[in-house]
Structure 1
Amino acid sequence: MSRARNTGLFLALAAAWGTAFVAISAGLDHFPPVLFAALRYDIAGILMLVYAAYAVDDWYPTGRAEWAVVAVGATLLIAAYHAFLFVGQQHTTAAAAAILVSLSPVLTTGFARLLMPSDALSALGIVGVGLGLIGVAIISQPETGDLFAPDVIGKVLVFCAATAFALGSVLTRRIDAALPIETMEAWSMLGGALLMHLISLALREPIEPSAWTDPQALGALGYLAVVASALGFLLYFDLLERLGAVEINMVSYVAPIFTVIAGWLYLDEVVDAATLVGFLLIALGFVLVKRRAIRETLGRTRGEDSSTGTDD
């Protein structure tokens, strides 16, 4: 039963995060991108802070190290990632954005090895990172041969989003701070939302008053804030504890499937051959980079099944 529960929650998380890209595309028809991302995390941050105050004792950061990890999370994991993503997704499909973001686990490993030279990548690991980057290049190839075409710029910005998230993931782990992940996420969301509001003001983003009454606009904002962010991260915390980092990273490769289906049904988006080939290369790169951890995880899973006598 535990395995069935974990599988169900894993698929629910993949669905929530995969369909989030479709909600972003829908909301961008009404909200300016950076303000849209900021509003999302105004709501999600408050919800996460309420949950952190309920779930953990240390719901408020104290000390330089704990505030430092929140600052990195707010700047890279929330503000930079989502500002790049929302601006970039104005010019590319939800499916392409989801697939480009799935490069984050590969880039995370690359940054970890770069910042910690004693734990260098093996030859196969380097090949895996290279395959992931080739996949990005294939997806980002210009439709018109113009390297500065809007669709290329959009995909480059989404790649920058994945890079910011990967770097932030490594830096937050390097800071020696005993801060519960729920607390770190809540304050990072609020800090990231504040940064994005400042960026939006600096860009003088216009907003149509009708956005505040349009059902599609409000539905997209509510879905992103409550389902994809607040509920999604609660599922993530639960699965991280039960499955570990390697298995939960696989959600990045299941989520695009839900993006493709929802994008086709809701936005009439179709995935082209280049995007599919790029996704396969990124997924193969992840397998090569994480092959040892995947092997250990599979071995541990088989051991648990044989000891309990169940396959569910």
Structure 2
Amino acid sequence: MSSPSSPAIDLTAGLLLASLALVWGGSFFFAEIALRELPPLTVTLVRVTLALPVLFVVVRLKGIAIPRGTRIWGAYLGMGALNNALPFSLIFWGQTQIESGLASILNGTTAMFGAVAAGVLLKDEPLSPQKLVGAGLGLLGVAVIMGPTALTSLDPRNLAQLAVLAAACSYALASVWGKRFLGGQPPLMNALGMVTGSTVLMLPVALYVEGVPQLDLSVEVWGAVIGVSVLSTALAYLMYFEILRRAGSANLMLVTLLIPPVAVSLGAGVLGEQISSEAVLGFGIIGLGLIVTDGRLPRRVLGRRQA
């Protein structure tokens, strides 16, 4: 029995997918510049705070009702923690120790962790052998990148890589949280509620740990802050849900493969970063794991052989 086919990617969806990869890949680049003058928790706070009014305006223009119940806002608070506050902070701290391109490669494990988390925690998405194989390949790719001394020598660089992996796990749990508690809400309202929740969480934490953010920033850092907030957060969520509507969640997962090349290219071309051969090989293995997790390409290959 053949599995149901996913919606096709038309020209518009393809352009949106490429644009989403550009702005999400660009978030690592923007963060690298912002971190020159701002500490990581502050970058997270500014990212979600500046994205908030943009999403609020879009929700109001589309006439989407803003819910008032405490339960739904509690769910938004949880989503904001798992999908914004915690992973953004971990990745930005990680980028104080490792290259932006390497951070994006490690973050590419999100889709595989998400598939396993959904298989374990959601009844309607059983944990299949292909998901386990995909996750195994993802972990193998991470092991290749970090090397055999990662667990015996926890220097700041190794800890930074582990922080980015923890962020990927947080994203994975966020996908389960969203399906369980936010499935009945309009997607754009979910984006607004999530960013509101993360802003509420990050404001006291960032102020307590890092103090009041400084405003006398260079033009480059202001540009990076606006870029990571407006482009890589607010605009990214708008494109995300439009691609989801047009092409489905399976095709949307392809952006995971496109983000690291964007981030690595920006890091190498503009910031002068160098990516090791181990990182490139690891990304290839992680990409293979994503293909196995997705399952469509292996099914097509096997189907042709059986025909």
Query: TM-score, normalised to structure 1's length?
Result: 0.87
| Contact 2:103-2:164 within 8 A present in 1 as well | yes
Corresponding residue for 2:237? 233
Give me the whole-angstrom Cα distance separating, in 1, the residues matched to 2:132 and 2:93: 30
Partner of 2:268: 264
Can you list the C-alpha shifts for 1:133-162, whole angstroms capped at 9, x where unaligned?
Answer: 121222223789962111111111011111
Residue 304 of structure 1 is matched in structure 2 by none
**Which residue is equivalent to 2:91?**
85
User: How far off its partner does 1:102 sit?
Assistant: 1.3
Residue in 2 that maps onto 1:131: 137
**Percent identity of equivalent pairs:** 26
Structure showing the higher helix proportion among its residues? 1
Q: What corresponds to 1:41 in structure 2?
A: 48
Q: Which of the numbers 45, 69, 77 marks the counterpart of 1:71?
A: 77
After superposition, give the CA deviation of every residue in 1:286-307 in whole Å (9 maximum; x if it has no partner): 12122059859xx9xxxxxxxx
1:95 paired with 2:101, answer yes
- Any residues of structure 2 matched to 1:136-147 within 5 Å, and which? 136-141=142-147, 147=153
Describe the shift of the 1:248–1:145 C-alpha distance in structure 2 as closer, same or farther (beyond 3 A).
closer
Residue 4 (structure 1) aligned with residue 4 (structure 2) = no
Q: Which runs of 5+ in 1 are unaligned?
A: 300-312
Tell whether 2:286 aligns with 1:279: no
1:62 partner amino acid? R
Structure 1: how far apart are the matches of 2:222 and 2:82? Answer: 26
In the alignment, residue 236 of structure 1 is paired with which amino acid? Y
Secondary structure, in 3 states, of the residue corresponding to 2:127?
coil
**Which of 14, 35, 41 is equivalent to 1:28?**
35
**C-alpha deviation, 1:116, in angstroms:** 3.1
Say whether the 8 Å CA contact 1:246–1:293 is kept in structure 2: no
Deviations 1:67-108 (A, max 9, x none): 243122111111111111111111111111111111111111
- Report which stretch shifted further, 283-292 or 88-97: 283-292
For residues 124 and 206 of structure 1, the distance between their equivalents in structure 2, rounded to whole angstroms, comes to 48
Aligned Cα root-mean-square deviation (Å): 2.3
Q: Tell me if structure 1 keeps the 8 A contact 2:26–2:263.
A: yes
Cα distance in 2 for partners of 1:27, 1:113 equals: 37
Q: Give the Å deviation of 1:204.
A: 3.4
Q: Aligned match of 1:156 in 153, 159, 162?
A: 162
Say which is worse superposed, 137-146 or 258-267, in terms of deviation: 137-146
2:174 is matched with which residue: 168, 182, 197? 168
Three-state SS of the structure 1 residue aligned to 2:274 is coil
CA distance in 2, matches of 1:216, 1:24: 11
Counterpart contact for 2:37–2:217, Cα < 8 Å: no
Match of 2:257 among 237, 247, 253: 253
For the 8 Å contact 1:49–1:187, the answer to whether it is kept is no
Aligned to 1:303: none
Mapped contact 2:73–2:193 kept (Cα < 8 A)? no
Checking the alignment, whether the CA contact within 8 Å between 2:64 and 2:189 is kept in structure 1 is: no
CA contact (8 A) 2:80 2:196 kept: yes
Aligned: 1:224 with 2:231: no
| 2:188 aligned with 1:178 | no
Secondary structure (helix, strand or coil) at the match of 2:275 reads coil
Question: What is the rounded CA distance, in whole Å, between the counterparts of 2:33 and 2:266 in structure 1?
Answer: 11
Residues 204-223 of structure 1: matches in 2 within 5 Å?
204-205=210-211, 209=214, 212-223=216-227
CA distances 1:218-258 after superposition (whole Å, capped 9, x unpaired): 01101111111111111111111001001111111101111
SS of residue in 1 equivalent to 2:38: coil
> Aligned residues, how many?
293
Q: Which residue of 1 aligns with 2:3?
A: none
Report the alpha carbon displacement of residue 46 of structure 1 after superposing the two structures with TM: 1.4
1:108 and 2:114 correspond: yes
Q: Distance in 2 between matches of 1:294 and 1:12?
A: 27
Distance across 2 between alignment mates of 1:187 and 1:116: 23
Q: When the two structures are superposed, what TM-score results if normalisation uses the length of structure 2?
A: 0.88
The runs of 5 or more residues in structure 2 that have no matched partner are 1-8
Q: CA deviation at 1:197?
A: 2.1
